[in-house]
Amino acid sequence: MKGGRRFSFAALVVVGDEKGRVGWGAGKAREVPEAIRKATERAKRTMIRVPMREGRTLHHDVIGEFGAGRVILRAAPAGTGIIAGGPMRAVFETLGMGDVVAKCTGSANPHNMVKATFAALSRCTSPRAVAARRGKKVADILGQKKDAPEATETTSV
């Protein structure tokens, strides 16, 4: 090309089913549609399942890191919505998460933010998975009180 100009386009794509599965992919090509197609294929191949509480938020707070990027994801009460910056918001929307608070510190690079978010989401576990791993019941893990045994009457003679 004249003047050494050979343009290349890069695409960062997040795909999800809005039911707890999400993936990301990056693609490069000379044309924009081709870069998006490559990124979408990679995103579909690298999907992960994220356990959600009540189908709307995380079970616990979690931190994820990638490079200089660090994200903090916090479970939120119903009605909070998605409180997160650009690339992280796209991840949560395609995941189908309705209530979450997220904070990004360090690198604001979209690639690092998405990778750090996925690092955090891949560390999320449900109480059911923890209970199965420990060989206990979910109620024991959550620390719920068991029904107290009924008081027995004693008569003294």
Tens of pLDDT, residues 50-67: 999 888 899 999 999 999
**pLDDT tens digits, residue range 59-110?**
999 999 999 999 999 999 999 999 998 899 999 999 999 999 999 999 889 9
Label residues 110-138 b or e (16+ Cβ within 10 Å = b). bbbbbbbbbbbbeebebbeeebeeeeeee
Q: Could you give the CA distance from residue 118 to residue 144 in angstroms, rounded to a whole number? A: 31
Mean pLDDT to the nearest integer, 119-134: 90
Domain ranges of the chain: 7-137
Domain 7-137 bears CATH identifier 3.40.50.1820: no
Tokens of 88: 């992280």
pLDDT grade for 148, boundaries at 50, 70 and 90: low
Q: Are 48 and 121 in contact (CB under 8 A)?
A: yes
* Axis crossing angle, helix 110-122 with helix 86-95, rounded to the nearest 10: 40
Mean pLDDT of 153-157: 59
Asked if pLDDT for residue 129 goes beyond 80, the answer is yes
Is residue 40 within 8 Å of residue 25, measured between CB atoms? yes
**How deeply is 41 buried, as exposed, middle or buried, from its count of CB atoms within 10 A (0-12, 13-18, 19+)?**
middle
